[in-house]
Amino acid sequence: MMRTRPLKVALLGCGVVGSEVARIMTTHADDLAARIGAPVELAGVAVRRPGRVRAGIDPALVTTDATALVKRGDIDVVVEVIGGIEPARRLITTAFEHGASVVSANKALLAEDGPALHQAAEAHGADLYYEAAVAGAIPLVRPLRESLVGDKVNRVLGIVNGTTNFILDRMDTSGAGYAEALDEATALGYAEADPTADVEGFDAAAKAAILAGIAFHTRVSLDQVHREGITEVTAADIRSARRMGCTVKLLAICERAQDGNSVTARVHPAMIPLSHPLASVREAYNAVFVEAEAAGRLMFYGPGAGGSPTASAVLGDLVAACRNKLSGARGPGESAYTQLPVSPTGKAVTRYHISLDVSDKPGVLAQCAMVFAEHGVSIDTVRQQGKAAPENAVPSGAEGTVGTAAASDGEASLVVVTHRATDAALSATVEALRKLDTVRGVASTMRVEGE
């Protein structure tokens, strides 16, 4: 039976995501009402620039006073799509204090202050939903919080930032420059208000913290996530990856240690084989593998950014929060009972691709190989090329062999790919290599994943 009194929704922010939320709420009003069991009414829209024309939104609903809107007392659900830490945090807390449930797409805030927000929701008998905060439209938060909550998740690995995937994809496939690809991602509404959050890996790290927290039932803060962005990925790295039959992706990897007693979370660019399913994730798409003890390996794939896909996730949460309001039920709260320690990333096990500029003289290769051996790092393949040799002079199939292309200036480039070792051992190896007189520089180091 349909309730006639509408549920009232306050929308905070009407940018890329907010405007799509408002549009879908209006155009799908009848279906949403039928699915919830009561009409849903947009009761107010908080914006920063009131003069802007917003198609489909009654100007009478628009206000610049977000605080007054969330304090009204008749709001059932607040949708926060402003982004950033403040005033979003204060507005969400105030919303709970005034009896509203909250739907947010704000990964930065959830990663920074998720536990306190969950506690505030709990204290006021409200819901906090945030499907849109991780991997846009892809259902991932709800599957981890609800569908897989009876299983034991051991690993969550994937591409969780659309902007960086878009940039790397463009650089790889069309040879676009970094800046040009970033501009395009921004124009398409994928990038954060400050794209530094995307390209420096903060956005993916926030998502990794959220995912690790839910997957392992433990609190993982943003500063416990090892973070490297894509700003240092060069066209040479991408070419080098291609030569190995790989491509470069920014990955988020959350893992339970083999003994099960700790977890790690890291975000960094990595080479992955072209045959790996993540290699075919193009443009701003995201894809995440979840490995669970009973379920096995699950893959979640879809649009990870953009106004309309993100609004889809927000609307799903809005329906859930509205249904709970009607039935008096509650959605899941925070689950952090395991309190597992979060280990530094040095304990993570990975492979490295290391590109060294070395003196091209007898014994250098052996000297470098000795450094790897001393750190217990086993070498998988080595490729050497003269520094002045053109790219296409590299013999194909040179992997696993040592090429001897002539060096015109006495300098050669040595590319080493290791077997799996701890990140700490690999970093120590690179540091020791830097100290060799014959190593003129470490051109790049990149992890190799997915094999």
Ligand X SMILES: N[C@@H](CCO)C(=O)O
Ligand Y SMILES: NC(=O)c1ccc[n+]([C@@H]2O[C@H](COP(=O)([O-])OP(=O)(O)OC[C@H]3O[C@@H](n4cnc5c(N)ncnc54)[C@H](O)[C@@H]3O)[C@@H](O)[C@H]2O)c1
Q: Which residues are catalytic?
A: 207
Residue 163, interface with ligand X (CB under 6 A)? yes
Binding-site member from 69, 82, 281, 313 for Na ion (CB under 5 A): 313
Alpha-carbon separation of residue 127 from 135, 181, 182, 333, 416 (angstroms): 20, 38, 36, 8, 51
Q: Which is nearer to ligand Y, 106 or 247 (CB)?
A: 106
How far apart are the C-alpha atoms of 69 and 87, rounded to whole Å? 13
Q: Which is nearer to ligand X, 106 or 345 (CB)?
A: 106
Residue 206, interface with ligand Y (CB under 6 A)? no
DSSP H helices, 174-247, are 178-187, 196-199, 202-216, 235-243
Residue 423 binding result from ligand Y, Na ion, ligand X, none, given CB thresholds of 5 to 8 Å by partner type: none
How far apart are the C-alpha atoms of 18 and 106, rounded to whole Å? 12
Residue 132, interface with ligand Y (CB under 6 A)? yes
> Which residues, 6 or more positions from 144, have their beta carbon under 8 angstroms from its beta carbon?
153, 156, 211, 214, 215, 290
- Is the separation of the CB atoms in 249 and 240 below 8 Å? no
- Is the separation of the CB atoms in 267 and 203 below 8 Å? no
Q: Which is nearer to ligand X, 190 or 352 (CB)?
A: 190
Residue 192, interface with ligand Y (CB under 6 A)? yes
Binding-site size, Na ion (CB under 5 A) = 5
- Single out the residue of 269, 244, 303, 304 nearest to residue 171, CA to CA: 269
Smallest distance, Å, CB 407 to ligand X?
42
How far apart are the C-alpha atoms of 72 and 68, rounded to whole Å? 6
- The phi and psi torsions of 85 (rounded to 5 degrees) equal -85, -60
- Pick the piece of the chain touching ligand X (CB under 6 A) from 146-154, 189-197, 210-218, 251-259: 189-197
| Beta strands 379-386; 439-448: pairing state | unpaired
Binding-site member from 162, 307, 331, 386 for ligand X (CB under 6 A): 162
Could you tell me which residues are beta bridge partners of residue 247?
A: 272
Site string for ligand Y, 33-52 (x = CB under 6 A): -------------xxx----
Site string for ligand X, 100-139 (x = CB under 6 A): ------------------------------------x---
Residue 237, interface with ligand X (CB under 6 A)? no
Residues that bind ligand X (CB under 6 A): 136, 161-163, 190-192, 198, 203, 304-305
Which residues lie near Na ion (CB under 5 A)?
131, 135, 138, 140, 313
